[in-house]
Structure 1
Amino acid sequence: MTRPDAEIVRNDDLLLVIDVQRDFCSRGRLAVPDGDAVVPLINRLAAHFKHIVLTQDWHPAGHTSFASSHREAKPYDQIELAYGPQTLWPDHCIQQTPGAEFHPALDSIVFQRAELILRKGFHRKIDSYSAFVENDKQTTTGLAGYLRERGFRRIFLAGLAYDYCVRFSAVDAVRADFEAVVIQDACHSIGPEGETEREFAQVGVKQMQSREILDTRE
């Protein structure tokens, strides 16, 4: 596991909290196994970051990534769209529905220190895993420019799911010339983790455990 050069959080570091929403947690429409377990850790971590950005999956009804939008398709089928292969998902995180809301156990400090809530996946014809670039690899969210304007260089990531939205966000952060550090135990996966860790090693995403921050600051 590649760790950040400095394990103590600096005042100009940012915590990027990925998609901690009802539909990705227990009893949600696209629940990540044991996804709720990341919430207490994120609450504790938030106290040690002056700057936080939250992402929120925010799909319109009938989004192209939903299996229900394709005749005879089933959730988790693979299809080819204009921008390439796409996994089809159960309907989830639909705008203005309870499933799109943030997990109710997220502490108030997370929102007090959140300087931006970035909604993604709202383009009906393009899915969006990454907080930086949508799945067509051309449509940007504007997050990279925002972070550069604010002077952030090192981004710590936590949330759901480790092998999808956290993974794509971390990889795209490095490609946008940020240092990306995934707090591994503050994330949970949908599937096996090996492929994600291999990609992190290839592109230079660093990883650490929450205790490496919490033990030094609490």
Structure 2
Amino acid sequence: MSSADAALILIDVQPDFMPGGALACHEGDAIVPGIDALLGRRRFRHVVATQDWHPRGHVSFVDAHPGHAPFDAIELYGQPQTLWPAHCVQGTAGAALHPGIDWTPVDLILRKGCDARVDSYSAFRENVGPAGTRPDTGLAGWLRGRGVDTVYLAGLARDVCVLWSAQDAAALGFRTHVLWDLTRPVTPAGDAPTRSALAAAGVAILDSTALG
């Protein structure tokens, strides 16, 4: 791995996705020490951290859809939309980058999900919105402007935001890797489909120990 042409992208490592949080991932807190250690080794010249950053009443929140239960699926802009418990609300402690990590090496914090009308799983493109398109977050251009052609992803959740980010990165032409041990799913039942989807997208699955 050349640190000059590779970037580490840390997806939504926030307390609301940890046990006790509003939308807890299975063993979500288990990745915190490993991510902190990886950042401490300064293996990457460029490090991006995404931050789910929703306004109150976001369209993906179940409480915006009376009569529905958490994790129900509805159709939104012609696409399936999971209704999530309210989470990562702007300015709340649950939306902060996890305090157990030294974020000093991060040179870009990308906040996503800020539009109340549109969900945003991927670091690269929002979900389909009212115009029927997936708006660009600008991350691909930021990376290319710094000579990055290879990305390594970690964070939460591996079966939603990490998966979508990896699929988009690969589709946009980046050599894409997921550091499996530094991700966790919403539920373990998602792991087999996630592995299949990553393989279909040409994304490599690695253990972070392979980085040396």
TM-score, normalised relative to structure 2? 0.93
In the alignment, what sits opposite 1:134?
Answer: 126
1:132 is matched by which residue type in structure 2? F
Which segments of structure 1 move beyond 6 Å, counting only runs of 4 or more?
none
| RMSD after superposition | 1.1
| 1:10-29 correspondence to structure 2 within 5 Å | 10-29=3-22
2:55 is aligned with 1:78: no
Q: In 2 relative to 1, CA 50–105 (structure 1 residues): closer, same or farther, beyond 3 Å?
A: same
Shift of 1:10: 3.1
In the alignment, what sits opposite 2:153?
Answer: 157
Q: In 2 relative to 1, CA 130–88 (structure 1 residues): closer, same or farther, beyond 3 Å?
A: same
Counterpart CA distance in 2 for 1:10 and 1:140 is 25
Paired residue secondary structure (2:160): helix
Contact 1:83 1:135 in 2 (8 A): no
Contact 1:78 1:87 in 2 (8 A): yes
Unpaired runs of 5+ in structure 1?
A: 1-7
Shift of 1:148: 1.0
Counterpart CA distance in 1 for 2:5 and 2:14 is 26
1:50 is matched by which residue type in structure 2? R
Paired residue secondary structure (2:60): coil
2:113 is aligned with 1:121: yes
Unpaired runs of 5+ in structure 2?
A: none
2:194 is matched by which residue type in structure 1? T
Shift of 1:9: 5.2
Structure showing greater relative contact order (alpha-carbon pairs closer than 8 Å, 6 or more residues apart): 1
1:119 is matched by which residue type in structure 2? R
Shift of 1:113: 1.4
Deviations along 1:136-171, one digit per CA (max 9) or x if unpaired, are 052111111111111100000000011110000000
In the alignment, what sits opposite 2:171?
Answer: 175
Shift of 1:102: 1.2
| 1:1-218 correspondence to structure 2 within 5 Å | 8=1, 10-46=3-39, 47=41, 48-107=43-102, 111-136=103-128, 137-191=133-187, 192=189, 193-213=191-211, 216=212
Percent identical residues: 47
Give the aligned length: 204
